[in-house]
């Protein structure tokens, strides 16, 4: 299949391009599009045949449900059985935006979209191209991140092309996304709200808005390793991984840098090449063969923003191993480490 990449400007959305993309969706085909978090791989979420194509293109296990994307609050009600008060408050505060809610699904949502579950994940993205595409298509758009299953999520159209060329008819190229990691997922389908995947909207932000404590699914930070089944089926799969093995090193910064530099020296004796994930502050202190800065520690949203791009850039470098310091502090530390920890297969070295 020929994959057409169409540049589209979010400030002046070209009507003809939008209609062409929506036409693919109406014909049960797939369109990749930018959202403010990562690129999504979209199809009509109420059509089992269209959803099935998403699973095939990504190589995604069929028990891993999809998120339905809506463009307006009115579109929520028909998709769910009820909207609990806390969910309504969260939607008012964080939509459009990087929040996905799990609610009990209505009859019209096919089990093919929800991986057989009686609940459905819903998000109203805050990206003009995503919203316009949903509106023009006239249906909720089911969209996982537009990567091949197991690979880092795409934050640029080029990443989508790497994974989806030949598999889908259309990629809308709206440039680099704004946040860089996927939405926070919060489950409102049971009495107590539970965060299933951390993201830009933090537990504290939810608690302030809904006025009740928010739990965190114990599987979020390494449950996979301990055999705890996560509530979001997708969180159990290996994820976000670059081709080379990634090793996380935590401890006092000076010690971490010395440790990694020692490992680089050892690797060089064996003729191996080493990649290092550094920050703007530490980059020139590392002796790796390929040292990539992920952002600045003084503003950790820059780290979230570059995370997947950096992981993917190592796939284009011939490195045998990648070392990274950890980024636990700051507002986004929880969400960043959730992704990095999984990418590293839950392994970490303390120095
Ligand atoms: O930011 C995002 O959320 C991006 C953009 C494109 O919107 N989408 C995204 O989708 O990250 P995906 O499919 O890569 O991740 C969705 C996660 C998976 O871990 C899936 O298992 C979980 O949401 N999920 C979906 N429906 C669920 C449900 N009914 N109950 C529990 N988890 C669910
Ligand atoms: Mg994904």
Q: What is the pLDDT of residues 231-253, one digit of tens each?
A: 888 777 667 778 899 999 999 99
Judgement on whether residues 143 and 16 belong to the same structural domain of the protein: yes
C-alpha 198 – ligand 2 centre gap (Å): 13
* Nearest residue (CA) to ligand 1, atom 20: 234
Task: Determine the pLDDT at residue 117.
Answer: 97
Task: Determine the pLDDT at residue 234.
Answer: 77
Task: Count the Cβ atoms, other than its own, within 10 Å of residue 27.
Answer: 10
**235 is a domain residue:** no
Judgement on whether residues 217 and 284 belong to the same structural domain of the protein: no
Task: Determine the pLDDT at residue 224.
Answer: 57
Strands annotated E in 55-124: 67-69, 99-104, 119-123
Task: Determine the pLDDT at residue 227.
Answer: 65
- Which atom of ligand 1 has the smallest separation from the CA of 121? 26
Among candidate residues 53, 33, 316, 312, the one with its CA nearest the CA of residue 174: 33
Task: Determine the pLDDT at residue 249.
Answer: 98
Q: Where is pLDDT greater, at 64 or 239?
A: 64
Q: Where is pLDDT greater, at 331 or 79?
A: 79
What mean pLDDT do residues 215-235 have? 77
Judgement on whether residues 124 and 254 belong to the same structural domain of the protein: no
Judgement on whether residues 80 and 164 belong to the same structural domain of the protein: yes
Judgement on whether residues 180 and 269 belong to the same structural domain of the protein: no
Categorize the per-residue pLDDT at 225 as very low, low, confident or very high, splitting at 50, 70 and 90. Answer: low
Over 80: is that where the pLDDT of 258 sits? yes
From 58, 70, 100, mutation site for ligand 1 pocket: most ligand atoms within 8 A of C-beta: 100
Task: Determine the pLDDT at residue 72.
Answer: 97
Taking the CA atoms of 146, 152, 153 and 158 in sequence, report the sign of the dihedral they define: negative
C-alpha 285 – ligand 2 centre gap (Å): 33
Judgement on whether residues 113 and 197 belong to the same structural domain of the protein: yes
Domain end marker among 222, 255, 276? 222
C-alpha span between 328 and 348 (Å, rounded): 13
Over 70: is that where the pLDDT of 295 sits? yes
Cis omega (within 30 of 0) for bond into 222: no
Domain containing residue 340: 245-350
Q: In the beta sheet, which residues pair with residue 185?
A: 100, 197
* Nearest residue (CA) to ligand 1, atom 31: 232
The stretches of the chain forming alpha helices (DSSP H) are 15-26, 48-58, 85-94, 128-137, 157-164, 203-210, 223-226, 253-269, 301-315, 333-343
pTM reported for the whole predicted model:
0.96
Among candidate residues 64, 269, 268, 33, the one with its CA nearest the CA of residue 160: 33
Q: Are β-strands 99-104 and 119-123 bridged in parallel, bridged antiparallel, or unpaired?
A: antiparallel
CATH number for the domain harbouring residue 103? 3.90.870.10
Judgement on whether residues 23 and 126 belong to the same structural domain of the protein: yes
What percentage of the chain has pLDDT greater than the value 70? Answer: 97
Task: Determine the pLDDT at residue 237.
Answer: 67
Number of domains in the chain: 2
Evaluate whether 133 touches 172 at the Cβ level (below 8 Å).
yes
Over 80: is that where the pLDDT of 129 sits? yes
From 149, 234, 238, mutation site for ligand 1 pocket: most ligand atoms within 8 A of C-beta: 234
pLDDT (tens digit per residue) in 150-206: 999 999 999 999 999 999 999 999 999 999 999 999 999 999 999 999 999 999 999
Judged by its nearest atom, the ligand closest to the C-alpha of residue 100 is: 1
* Nearest residue (CA) to ligand 1, atom 10: 144
Judgement on whether residues 252 and 141 belong to the same structural domain of the protein: no
Judgement on whether residues 277 and 155 belong to the same structural domain of the protein: no
What percentage of the chain has pLDDT greater than the value 90? Answer: 89
Task: Determine the pLDDT at residue 56.
Answer: 97
CATH number for the domain harbouring residue 254? 3.40.50.11030
């Amino acid at each position: 299949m020929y994959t057409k990449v169409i540049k589209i400007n979010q400030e002046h959305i070209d009507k003809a391009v939008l209609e062409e993309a929506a036409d693919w969706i109406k014909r049960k085909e797939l369109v990749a599009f930018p959202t403010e978090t990562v690129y999504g791989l979209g199809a009509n979420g109420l059509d089992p045949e269209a959803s099935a194509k998403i699973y095939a293109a990504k190589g995604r296990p069929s028990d891993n449900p999809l998120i339905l994307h809506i463009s307006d609050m009115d579109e929520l009600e028909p998709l769910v059985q009820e909207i609990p008060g806390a969910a309504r408050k969260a939607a008012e505060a964080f939509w459009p935006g990087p929040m996905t809610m799990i609610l009990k699904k209505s009859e019209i949502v096919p089990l093919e979209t929800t991986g057989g579950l009686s609940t459905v994940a819903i998000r109203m993205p805050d990206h003009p191209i995503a919203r316009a595409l949903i509106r023009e298509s006239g249906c909720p758009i089911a969209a996982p991140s537009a990567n091949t299953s197991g690979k880092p999520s795409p934050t640029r159209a080029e990443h989508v092309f790497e994974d989806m060329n030949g598999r889908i008819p259309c990629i809308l190229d709206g440039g680099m996304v704004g946040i860089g990691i996927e939405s926070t997922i919060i489950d409102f389908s049971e009495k107590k709200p539970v965060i299933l995947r951390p993201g830009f909207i933090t537990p504290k932000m939810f608690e302030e808005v809904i006025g009740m404590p928010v739990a965190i699914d114990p599987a979020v930070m390494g449950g996979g390793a301990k055999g705890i089944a996560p509530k979001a089926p997708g969180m159990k799969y290996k994820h976000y991984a670059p081709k080379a093995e990634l090793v996380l090193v935590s401890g006092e910064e000076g010690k971490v840098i010395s440790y990694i530099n020692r490992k680089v020296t050892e690797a060089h004796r064996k003729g191996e090449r080493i990649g290092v994930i550094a920050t703007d502050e530490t980059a020139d202190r590392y002796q790796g063969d390929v040292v990539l800065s992920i952002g600045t520690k003084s503003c950790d949203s820059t780290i979230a923003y570059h995370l997947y791009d950096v992981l993917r850039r190592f796939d284009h470098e011939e490195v045998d191993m990648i070392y990274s310091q950890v980024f636990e502090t700051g507002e986004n530390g929880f969400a960043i480490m959730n992704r990095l920890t999984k990418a590293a297969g839950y392994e970490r070295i303390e120095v």
